[in-house]
Structure 1
C-alpha cells in the first residue's frame, strides 16, 4: 500500500493534480464542540447495530457490580462504628463477633473488585476493537490513505491516531463513566450517614446559641467546591498542553519512520533537509512540551495530594467537639470521619479525574480530526466527479 510520503519500491508517486488543488483551500480549524461531536458520531456506533446487545449486557453487569460494591462499602462503614465502639467498651466478646462479621464483607468486596476489573476491561477491549476496525476501514477504503495528504487540517500520522489515540479514547470514557456513576450514588448514600451521625452542631457566641443542621454535610460540600475551583483554575490549560504533547510525539515518530524508509529506499528522499537536524528539532519540541506538561501536573498534584492528606484530618476535627461533649461515641467519630472522606472523594470526582478527562479529550480530538479529514476526502471525490461530468 502507499501511505504519506511512501511509495512501493520501483513505482512512481501517484499523480493527482486536480486533487492537489485542495491544498490551496482555506482551512478553518474546528472547535472543541465540533471535534467531540464528530468523534461520538462514529464511536457511538458501538452501541447500535446487531452486536450492540453485548455492549448493553456489559453495561448492565457493570451497573450491578457498582451498586453491590456500594452496598458492601455501606456495610463496612457501619462495621467500623460497631468495631470501635466495642474497643471503647473493652468488650472482647463483641470484638470477636465483629471480627467474624468482617470476613464476608471483605470477601464480597474482593470478589466484586475482581468482577469489576473483568467487566470494565472486557467492555474497553470490545469497544476499542470496534472503533479501530471502523477507523481502519474508513482510512483504507476508496484510496483514502493516498488522498489524505492533500487534505488541509490536523491529520498527521493517522496510523498512530488509530492505534494509540483510539485506545485512549475508548478506555477512559468507560473508566470515567463508571467512576462518575459510582460517585453519584456513593454521595447520596453517605450523605445520609453524615446527616444522621453528625446531626446538628450548636455553637455559642457572645451568649447567642447558633444551631447548624447537618454541619458535616455542609462542610464537605463547601470543601469539595473549593477543591474543584482550585483544580479548574490551576490546570485549565491541561487539555491544550496534552494535545500539543501528542502532536509533537507523533511528529517525532513520523520523522524517524521517514528517515528509516528513506535509507531503505522505500520512501522519497528530501535532499534539501539534513535528517539529523530535522529529527533534532523535533526532539527539542517534544522535550519543551514535556516540560510544560510536567509543570501542569506538578501544580495539579499540589491540589490532589494535599487533599489526600488533610481530608481525613478535617473529618476527625469536625467530629471532635461533639465527641468531647459526649454527644458522639468513638465508633461514631470513626464512622463519620470515614463517611466524610468517602463523600468528599465522591464530590471530588472532577478534581481527581481532571488530568484523565484532559487526556481523553485530547485523544478524542485527534481521532475526530482524522475523521474530519477523511470526510473531506469523500467530499473532494464527489466534487471531482461532478466537475468531470
Structure 2
C-alpha cells in the first residue's frame, strides 16, 4: 500500500511540476508568489480579528462607549482590507488556474494528436476510455482541485502556526487533582484541539476512503453515457433507416443505469461521511466553550477573552481538520489524478509502438519500394507475408481480395499507421500523400475549409475550387463556400465521395490512396471519376482498394491477397 501511495504521489508531483518548469514558469511563479502572499495576509488579518474580539467584547462587558466606538472604527478598516484581499486572492487564483489549464490542454492535445496517438490508442489493449473527456473535463478539475487543495493546505498550516501560540497563551494552565497530587497542563486547549482533530481525521479517512474509487467510476460512467448520445447524433440517419430507436434507448438506459447505480453508492457513502463531518463540525462550535468555561466562571478571563479563546480554538481546530473538511474534494482529486496518469501512461505505451513495425525510409524519389513486408493482426495472425512491390510516378495499383483479407490494413501500413508489420518500405514524403476513405471526413467549418482539408500547400483561388466542383458535379454548391454547416449531415454519402475527389483535384497529390472511394457511386460515375483522375493528375500514383470488377480496367497492376499471407501481383 505504501508503495502504491508513493507511486501516486510521484505521478501527482509530475503532473503538477511540469507547468512550473515550462516556458511559462516566470508567470506561473510570479502569480503563485502573489497568491501565497495574499493567503498569508488573509491569515494575518484573522489574527488581528481575533485580537479585536477581545477588545470589542470587553468594551461591551465594561460598558465602555469610547472603547466600543474605537473598536468599531478598527473593524471597518480591517473589514475593508479583508474584502480586498479576499477578492484578489480568488481572482488571481482563477487567473492562474486558467493559464495552467490552457498550458496543460495544449500539451495533452499535442501529445494525443502527434504520431497518430489518438488512432493508435484504439489498437492497444488499455483502459483509456473517453480521452476527449480527460482533456476537456479532467484537466479542468485537476487544475481547480489542485489549487484549492494546495492553497487550502498552505492557509491551514499558516493558520495553525499563527493561532497555536495565541491559543497556548490564552489557555493558561489546567490543574487536574490526582489523589494527593495535582497535574498542571500548560496550553491544555492546544492539546485538546490536536486530539479532537486527529480522531476526526482518522475516522473521516476510514469512512470516506471508498469515495475515491466511486468518484473514478462515476467519471467513467458519465463519459460513456455522453459518448453514446453523441454517437446517436453522428449516426442519426443510419439509425433512423434501421428504426433502431428501441435498441438505442435500451443502450442509453443501460449506460445511464450504471451512472445511477454508482451515484447511489456515492450517496450512501457521502451520507455516512456527512453524518460524521456535520456532527464533528457542530460539536466543534460548543466544544471550546465547554473547555474554557471553567476559567471564565472562575473569573480568570473576561467575556472578550472567552470569545477570543473560542475563536483561536476554532481556527486551530479548523486548520488541524483540513483533511476532514476537504476529504470529499481529496477523493475526487485522487480519482482525477489517476485518470490523467493512466491516460499519460497509455500515450507513452502507444508511443513505444512507433519504434516497431516496418522500417520506413522517406525518400525524395517519387517511387514506392516494398521489400519483405509482412503484415499481421494485433493477435499475431498473418494477413500478408513477404510482399515485394514497386510503384513509380503515373502507375496505378488495385488491391483486391475477400472481405477481411487485410486490404485496408495494407493501406494503413503504407501510410505508417499500422505498427504490426515487418519489412522495409522506401516511400515518398507524406506531404505528397492524400487518402480517400469510403466515408470521407468532413470537418466542422465552411465548405471551403472542407474542400481544402487538411490544408493546401499553396494558395488556392475560388476559381480553382469552383472548377474542381464543376468537374465533380458539385457546381450546385458553389454559392455555399462560406456557409458554415455540419456537412457530413447535409451531404449524402455519394456527395461526400464527390467532395473527396474534388479535394484530390484541388490539392493535386503525387500519391493517392483510395479505400472503397467510389462505393456509393454507380458504375458510370465511377468510370467517369477514374477517367477524370487520369486526365487531370497524369503523374499521380493511384492505389485503390475495392471489390468491383469494374475497377480493374482503371489500373495497371493488380495485387490480390487472400488474408492468410499469400499474395499475387499481375500486370494489367
**Same fold per TM (> 0.5)?**
yes
Contact conserved, 1:32 with 1:365, CA < 8 A, in 2? no
- Is 1:341 matched with 2:314? yes
- Structure having greater relative contact order (Cα 8 Å, sep ≥ 6): 1
Q: Which residue of 1 aligns with 2:344?
A: 371
Q: From the two aligned structures, give the one with the greater helix fraction.
A: 1
Q: Which residue of 2 aligns with 1:112?
A: 85
Q: Which residue of 2 aligns with 1:102?
A: 75
Q: Which residue of 2 aligns with 1:203?
A: 176
What are the Cα deviations for residues 282-330 of structure 1, in whole angstroms up to 9, with x where unaligned? 1111100000011111111112211221212001111100011111111
The 3 A distance-change label for structure 1 pair 36 and 169 is: farther
Rg bigger for which structure?
A: 2
What are the Cα deviations for residues 173-221 of structure 1, in whole angstroms up to 9, with x where unaligned? 1111101011001101101111101111112355542212111001000
Contact conserved, 1:38 with 1:372, CA < 8 A, in 2? no
- Is 1:285 matched with 2:258? yes
Bigger mean CA deviation after superposition, 254-263 or 132-141: 254-263
What are the Cα deviations for residues 365-385 of structure 1, in whole angstroms up to 9, with x where unaligned? 112222222112211121114
What are the Cα deviations for residues 247-291 of structure 1, in whole angstroms up to 9, with x where unaligned? 11111111222222222459xx9x9x9322222211111100000
1:31 Cα shift?
A: 6.0
Contact conserved, 1:166 with 1:364, CA < 8 A, in 2? no
SS at structure 2 position matched to 1:388: strand
What are the Cα deviations for residues 16-56 of structure 1, in whole angstroms up to 9, with x where unaligned? xxxxxxxxxxxxxx967656645643553211132110000
Q: Cα RMSD over matched residues?
A: 2.1
Please point out which of 32, 43, 55 is paired with 1:59: 32
Contact conserved, 2:11 with 2:341, CA < 8 A, in 1? yes
Contact conserved, 2:55 with 2:304, CA < 8 A, in 1? yes
Q: Which residue of 1 aligns with 2:126?
A: 153
The 3 A distance-change label for structure 1 pair 55 and 245 is: same
Distance (Å, rounded) in 2 between the aligned partners of 1:216 and 1:355? 28
Please point out which of 303, 312, 320 is paired with 1:330: 303
Q: Counterparts of 1:131-280 in structure 2 under 5 Å? A: 131-264=104-237, 274-280=247-253
Q: Which residue of 1 aligns with 2:480?
A: none
Contact conserved, 1:35 with 1:369, CA < 8 A, in 2? no
Q: From the two aligned structures, give the one with the greater strand fraction.
A: 2
Contact conserved, 2:209 with 2:331, CA < 8 A, in 1? no
The 3 A distance-change label for structure 1 pair 298 and 56 is: same
Q: What are structure 2's unaligned runs of at least 5 residues?
A: 360-421, 425-572
Contact conserved, 1:46 with 1:52, CA < 8 A, in 2? yes
Aligned positions, number: 357
- What TM-score comes out, normalization by structure 2 length? 0.60
- What TM-score comes out, normalization by structure 1 length? 0.87
- Is 1:84 matched with 2:48? no
Distance (Å, rounded) in 2 between the aligned partners of 1:146 and 1:43? 27
